[in-house]
Each structure stands twice: as C-alpha cells, then as structure tokens.
Amino acid sequence: MTDHLLTLNAGSSSLKFALFARAQPAAPAFAGQVDGLGGLGGGPGARLEVRDAAGAVVHDAALAHAGATPTHDDAIDAVLAWLRQRGAQVGAVGHRIVHGGMHLVQPVRIDDAVLAQIDALMPLAPLHQPHNVAGVAAARRAFPGLPQVACFDTAFHAGQPALNRRFALPQALFDAGVRRYGFHGLSYESILAQLVAADPLRARGRLVVAHLGNGASMCAIAAGRSIATTMSFSPLDGLPMGTRCGRLDAAAVLYLLQCQGRSADAVAQLLYHESGLLALSGVSGDMRELMASAAPGAALAIDYFVEHALRELAGMVAALRGIDTLVFTGGIGEHAAELRRRIIDGAAWIGPVDVQVLRSDEEAVIARATAALS
C-alpha cells in the first residue's frame, strides 16, 4: 500500500484511526477503534478492532498495557504496530485536535510553532488535548518528515454570530480568549456534509444536531453555519456527560474553592472525572451500563440526561427561531433507541420535525483536509 493518509482521532475514552488511499480520501481502506481507555466503557478488557472497507473484521486483539487500565498511549502504540505489520506506506497524517483557541480556526500543517499553540491550550480541554498532542508526537516519531495536519473541533463554530460567542464579561476578557468556542465541530461538519449530499435544500434549513456520547453537545445550524452550541469555553459546559458535570453555576466552583478549601486541581478532578452520569448513578459513566442496570442511581442518571437534553434542545431551537431537522449522532445518539424516543417524545411541543440518525465520520473530514494540505 503506497501513499496513504492516516487519521488519528483521540476522544476522552477512545482512539479511532483510519487509513485512506490519497486518491479516495472519502472512504477508508481500513478503520479501527479502541474504546474503554482510562477505565471507561471497557476498562482492562479494551481491544483494538480493525475493519476493512467492506466492514469485515481483519484484526481484533486485546490491548496490551502496563498499568491497571489501558491508556491512549497504549492505543496509539497498538495502532502504529498494526500499521507496521501491514506494511502500510503512510504519506501524511491528519489529527483531530479538540481546541484551536482564537487563532487556529482552519486545518493547518503542523510545525513546532503550531504544536506549541496547541500545547498551550491544554488547560481548556484537559481530557482531550493531551491525548491529541500525544498522537501528534507519536506520529512525528513514527513518520519523521511526513506532513502532519491538525483539524480543530472548535473551527466549525468560529464564524458564529458575535452575540453567541460572548459571555457577559468585560471586553478585555473576551479579547484575551475567554469566550464561547464550542466543540465536536468535526462531527457537525461530517453530518452537515451528509445532509448536503442527500438533500441540499433541507441542509440549508434549520438543523439541530445532537452529538450524544461519552462527551455530549448539541449544535444549532442555519444555512450551513453554526449559530449556537451547548459547549462553550471548555468541553465541560452544556449537557451532562459520562464523567463531566455539564452546565454548572459558577458560584458552585467558588464555593468549593473558598468554603470547602479544595484546591483548583481537586475541583478540576471532580468536574472532569468524578461528575456527570458517574456521579449521579454511583454505578458508571457509560450509558450502556446504566441502561442495563437495575440500580436506582442508574435510572436517576438516565432521567437527568434526558431532562437536560430536552432543555438544551429547547435552547438550540430558540437560537434558530424554529427547527426543521433534528439529527442524532454519537455512540448514544446512534445506538440508544429508547433514549432517543424519550427525547423525541419530550420535545413533541416543538411540532413536526424531520428526525434522522446518522453516523458521524470525523475521519473522512480529517482525511479530506489532510489531502488538501499535503
């Protein structure tokens, strides 16, 4: 195999990769995934599974790891080892990068200066950016001299109306970068591209895309443009998630710091790793486990998720002044049919809406950008 494009996509608890022929950056020759990294949704039993273009499994093996739970570094090492075994000739590597900040608002070739900018944004996306940077570092070591391209989740939202990018804070803070960025942009770009291909007229209408997974957000899209989204300054905001709190009164953080005497690091650990569905249920942060559980806490967590999905959906509809199409994507959005039904039923007050379930293909978005820049 010669001159292929490799994409690496590190989520908060998963690593996806795909190998594309440069001449066909829309359809991968091979695609693989490791779930359950960091102890979520699989724990020590995490596996690397690889499928070919026809969907047949060509590799399925337990992920080797030295620690108690497999890490993103373990997953990257496994992917690179599999590529070496296949003799894949990689010509360029594309990376999903969660946060691009104020200045990285389109795909860009990675050099030391760009990598330094990405690295500086780690405090704003601590569940993702370190793994994104680790993927870049591993790929640069494995493929020295090859073009490496960064594609940013925040970029899709960079053109939002100024009103929707502001907090009610002083202008100086906005100028310093304290603003609403939004995330899951590569997923939203993928869904929008699929809608445009299927029905260009409908794709120009008022869309709400619900990306529901271990990380969850919604985006209001009008005329092919992001108008508003539920995540803001960081991937903590908006919907409750696997281990993230979602929307939270800022005074609660002040209380934890000032009255309970917790350190900033302890509060960050709480909000990113010990909250969300895990905290509500006392069982798990994985929706699959919660839906299979008879524990009262599991039911509470599911009810909370549905209730706040309905509230956030209402906010997106308000931003659009109406809705034509609602799209579910992400692991929960695609596979949890009963949860989708509850959200659809609870939103019946909105009126008739075209509801679709689509699989986001972030890797194809990254591959197209990598092909264009390498």
Domain range summary for the chain, segments of one domain joined by +: 4-152, 200-357
> Per-residue pLDDT tens for 345-366?
999 999 999 999 999 999 999 9
Residue 302: pLDDT over 50: yes
Cα–Cα–Cα angle for 214, 218, 224, rounded to 5 degrees? 130
DSSP-derived secondary structure letter, 249: -
pLDDT for 323 equals 98
* C-alpha to C-alpha distance for 218 and 229, rounded to whole angstroms: 6
Distance between alpha carbon 8 and the CA centroid of its chain, in Å? 13
| Count of other CB atoms within 10 angstroms of residue 197 | 9
pTM: 0.91
Q: At what angle do helices 362-373 and 185-198 cross, to 10 degrees?
A: 90
pLDDT for 38 equals 67
> Per-residue pLDDT tens for 37-89?
765 544 456 889 999 999 999 999 988 877 778 888 888 889 988 988 888 88
For residues 227 and 64, the model is more confident at 227
> Per-residue pLDDT tens for 228-243?
999 999 999 999 999 9
pLDDT for 2 equals 57
- Using left for φ > 0, alpha for ψ between -120 and 50, and beta otherwise, residue 197 falls in alpha
CATH class of 4-152: alpha beta
Under CATH, which architecture does the 200-357 domain have? 2-Layer Sandwich (3.30)
Percent of the chain clearing pLDDT 90 (strictly above): 79
77 included as an active-site residue: no
* C-alpha to C-alpha distance for 316 and 85, rounded to whole angstroms: 47
> Per-residue pLDDT tens for 3-31?
899 999 887 678 899 999 988 888 899 99
Choose the catalytic residue: 35, 74, 153, 286.
153
Are 4-152 and 200-357 in the same CATH fold? yes
